[in-house]
Amino acid sequence: MFGTEAYGVELTIDADETERLLSVEPADVSSAPELTFAKNVFIPLTTACRYTCTYCTYYDPPGAASLLSPDEIEEICERGADAGCTEALFTFGDDPDDRYTEIYERLDELGHDSIHSYLRQACEIALDCGLLPHSNPGDQTREQMELVADLNASMGVMLETTADVQAHGGPRSKSPAQRIATIATAGELDMPFTTGILVGIGETATDRAESLLTIAALHERYGHVQEIIIQPVVSNERWRGGSPDLETMRKTTAMARAALPEEVSIQSPPNLAPVDELLDCGIDDLGGVSPVTDDYINPEYKWPALRELERIADTAGVPLSERLPVYDRYVSSEWLSPRIEAAIDADTEAGRRFRSLLG
Ligand code: SF4
């Protein structure tokens, strides 16, 4: 039995349900009839993070962390829009803490008292350039999310795992309950949401099942989870713990497909996961491909070119379709703010491009 009541979110996962999910094998799920992807530009707004996850090469320590300037954000967005992207993918470390004095001084110079206030300006820049913002700002309070919700087509945070693992440990430990609360807050705010699990960071198979069932329970409550990412941890300069083996990835991906209703996409990132070997495990989305920026989360693993996505779809024998950062079923006033709806409805080149991708 897994449960949480922290941060005002009450959730209980039954042990029988966990056992049932643990019995799922790849042969129990169907291959998807189509694969999808989105074209995005990666915009690492800040590399400051209050946490120090032991597998992460994204964050920089105080003194080395960066904050993109408005001009840099605009330049990346313009390059992305010119290349035909639809999504401005804003990535963060989690809230910078008191150690990052330079980041706060820089924010102050720019007229902001918080990173979320600056994110709001960054989203405005992206929308002005003809891109739809999708922000991944880590854990968020309701107040923080409300500050930027109307300027995002969708948002995301990886749950990673419901387990307390050493990889999140240390003096500033990331808390699963806080992530669960962030996903629940997105549901309360009707924000289409992307989440996922990180495989191989010290969690057990039971933890993976409980994590997937937690996401499923949140989706059942709010209907807002548009996709979940099944991501293996990979070796890098900070992580020497290795990656999960193929059997684990296949089983976990199949468990994800079985845990979530059909409308929720299962994403496998081709730059990190052995996608060719997962095509029969229920994946139906290949995530974002960026023609103009590196993958800043995992800079050692380049995004594959679009050609590579086409090759994967050919291998699967299914069509490949481009999608928006918000899935089609959420493109309505029930889910999107007037500002995002207006961007999609606009009689502009960007608006026409957005509408051409809707099914
Ligand atoms: S994984 Fe996320 S929360 Fe953890 S250190 Fe990296 S950026 Fe921060």
pLDDT tens readout for residues 193-218? 999 999 999 999 999 999 999 999 99
pLDDT tens readout for residues 58-113? 999 999 999 999 999 999 999 899 888 999 999 989 988 889 999 999 999 999 99
pLDDT tens readout for residues 291-344? 766 555 565 665 556 889 999 999 999 999 999 999 999 999 999 999 999 999
Which whole number is the average pLDDT over 247-271? 97
Å from CA of 310 to ligand 1 middle: 31
Domains recognised in the chain with CATH numbers: 2-356 (3.20.20.70)
pLDDT score recorded for residue 294: 58
pLDDT band at 170 (very low <50, low <70, confident <90, very high): confident
In the DSSP assignment, the letter for residue 171 is S
pLDDT at 161 over 70: yes
3-state secondary structure labels for all residues of 11-42:
EEECHHHHHHHHCCCHHHCCCCCCEEEEEEEE
- In degrees and rounded to multiples of 5, residue 228 shows phi and psi of -130, 140
- In degrees and rounded to multiples of 5, residue 333 shows phi and psi of -70, -15
DSSP calls for 248-311: HHHHHHHHHHHHS-TTSEEE--TTTS-GGGTGGGT--EEEEE-SSS--SSSTTSPPPPHHHHHH
Mean pLDDT of the chain: 93
Which residues does 181 contact at the CB level (< 8 Å), separation at least 6? 6, 7, 8, 9, 139
Which whole number is the average pLDDT over 241-264? 97
CA distances from 339 to 30, 148, 175, 298 (A): 38, 12, 33, 32
Classify each residue of 217-229 as buried b or exposed e, where b means 16 or more C-beta atoms within 10 Å of its C-beta: bbbeebbbbbbbb
Residue nearest ligand 1's atom 4 by CA: 53
Is residue 9 a contact partner of residue 181, using CB atoms and an 8 Å limit?
Answer: yes
pLDDT score recorded for residue 90: 97
pTM of structure: 0.94
In the DSSP assignment, the letter for residue 3 is E
Q: Is 92 in the pocket of ligand 1 (CB under 6 A)?
A: no
Å from CA of 38 to ligand 1 middle: 23
Q: Is 87 in the pocket of ligand 1 (CB under 6 A)?
A: no
In the DSSP assignment, the letter for residue 63 is T
Residue type, position 347, single letter? D
pLDDT score recorded for residue 300: 62
Å from CA of 179 to ligand 1 middle: 12
Could you tell which of 56, 90, 100, 238 is best to mutate to test the pocket of ligand 1, judged by most ligand atoms within 8 Å of the CB?
A: 56
